[in-house]
Chains A and B, each alone.
Chain A
């Protein structure tokens, strides 16, 4: 029995040495660790854990697991956490709920969509409504100024024509 155990541990040590030699011999440059940006990887790991990869995908994924220590670590950690739940307090839920304000789920009506009349939680009018009002006011003021300048220019020109007896004088002579 002891001899058998000794043989097993010797074989294991020999296997470990061989594997480490392979790792040194076939070492490849490390890529950045897996972050959440790898959304496709998250779905791939989940699909593997649920046994939903087809054989070709499975082989490709296993090759990546063997090559990328960070991906393997995430895979094993996720596997260990599958199916677990813990109680969450109401206070924790409230804080999480506050991340998405309720009004984000209200569908605005037509007037609200045009004028952005809904109020933010801090009571200020939406920026969209303010910018729309400023734009309309600016257009009205610019039009009024333009109209006045035009009227003044026409009056000056007409006065000159009267003095010179120009034929362009309006027939009725009035402004």
Chain B
């Protein structure tokens, strides 16, 4: 049965549609969950997260599922995003119950890096794509090739955007520093002048 027909069967309340849906898509959902939970050492909670996702999909007469638009994205892609989002929220919401430190793998005891800040780049300084390239390279430590793949462009284009973005930032801060320096200097000379007048 085609993807669209399966979803329609589920939404129209056909008997056995939910079981068919699970057989086909539970492996996709569990894979996305494991991708998040296994590195965090919380694989045992995968089924809780999966149940959470299934409940969300069915709740209020499949409201979430009805929000999917096949014209916008493939169903498995959309489902993977939903499953990843619920997994991230699960990890954030429920900190691990008390476990003796000796039983926790050393890698999980590492102090997490500082959460990247929210930013609002002034209009005209950097293009959204330039800012995103810098964010991916420096905050997420991605390789140029990975960034190029995510943005669906050539690696050389990424290098070029990176170079232009840094040049713009350098110019911006040089001007800002220059203005600050000039205002400091003019402020100092004005005070000097006033002192001399006195």
Contacts and interface: CB of A to CB of B under 8 A. Distances in A.
Contacts of A62: 128-129, 132, 151
A91 B184 CA distance: 72
A26 B120 contact: yes
Given A36-B89, A107-B13, A79 B150 contact: yes
Nearest to A27: B117
Given A16-B138, A21-B173, A47-B73, A86 B166 contact: no
Contact of A19 (B55, B56, B169): B169
B72 A43 contact: yes
Interface string B50-62: 1100111010000
What's the dominant secondary structure at chain B's contact region? helix
A165 B115 CA distance: 100
**Most chain A Cβ neighbours within 10 Å, of B16, B77, B88:** B77
Contact of B134 (A19, A30, A83): A19
A21 B55 CA distance: 44
Contact of B74 (A26, A50, A88, A107): A50
A105 B13 contact: yes
A42 to B, nearest CB: 5
Contacts of A117: none
B106 interface: no
Contacts, number: 211
Given A22-B119, A30-B118, A97-B19, A84 B32 contact: yes
A40 B78 CA distance: 11
Nearest to A72: B135
B140 A46 contact: no
Nearest to A107: B13
Given A39-B67, A76-B140, A95-B51, A52 B73 contact: yes
A27 B119 contact: yes
B64 interface: yes
B50 A96 contact: yes
Interface string B61-81: 000100111011110111011
Contact of B51 (A59, A78, A96): A96
Interface in A24-64: 24-31, 33-36, 38-40, 42-43, 45-47, 49-52, 59-60, 62-63
A87 interface: yes
8 contacts: A15-B166, A27-B118, A45-B81, A49-B73, A60-B128, A63-B128, A82-B80, A84-B32
